[in-house]
Amino acid sequence: MGADGADPRGPHDLRSRGGLKPAAAKLPAVEKKLSAVEKLAALDEVVTAIAHPARRQILLTLHFRGGTATAGEIAARFEHAWPTTTRHLRVLEDARLLAHDKVGRTRRYRLDRERLALVTEWLGWFET
């Protein structure tokens, strides 16, 4: 397992292990009621995606920018190469924590706070 949570065979291998869903399998704007098994699977996707500090920083950047930012604005916050940034964005999209709109050559990413709330809900089980 690599430092970014990906298998050494590359980021696309995450999809073949069943851990992340391809971006094409996006849910509609209003997410259906999840069964307990589906909710745990979704939680696993989210936790896997936020395991890397750079991806957590991307989520924080989007949050403090009002929930949206362009790919360039996000990349400007990091010192690593553009392919690394796009790989992190793709992992977050695959976990459905981000979605993007494309206008011309610009991609504007949006944070899905409802999907991120799965972690808060799960942590609530441990409150005393």
- Say what the pLDDT of residue 14 is: 38
* Cα–Cα distance, 29 to 112 (Å, whole number): 10
Amino acid in the structure at residue 95: A
CATH code for the part of the protein at 58-128: 1.10.10.10
pLDDT tens, 101-112? 998 999 999 999
- Say what the pLDDT of residue 78 is: 85
Prediction pTM value: 0.71
Q: Where are the domains of the chain?
A: 58-128
- Say what the pLDDT of residue 128 is: 77
- Say what the pLDDT of residue 32 is: 66
pLDDT tens, 25-63? 343 344 568 888 999 999 999 999 999 999 999 999 999
**Looking at residues 2-10, what average pLDDT do you find?**
45
Is residue 22 within 8 A of residue 94, CB to CB? The reply is yes
DSSP string, 2-15: -TTS--TT-TTHHH
- Say what the pLDDT of residue 53 is: 95
pLDDT tens, 64-106? 999 999 998 999 988 888 899 999 999 999 999 999 999 899 9
Burial level of 83, CB count in 10 A (0-12/13-18/19+)?
A: exposed
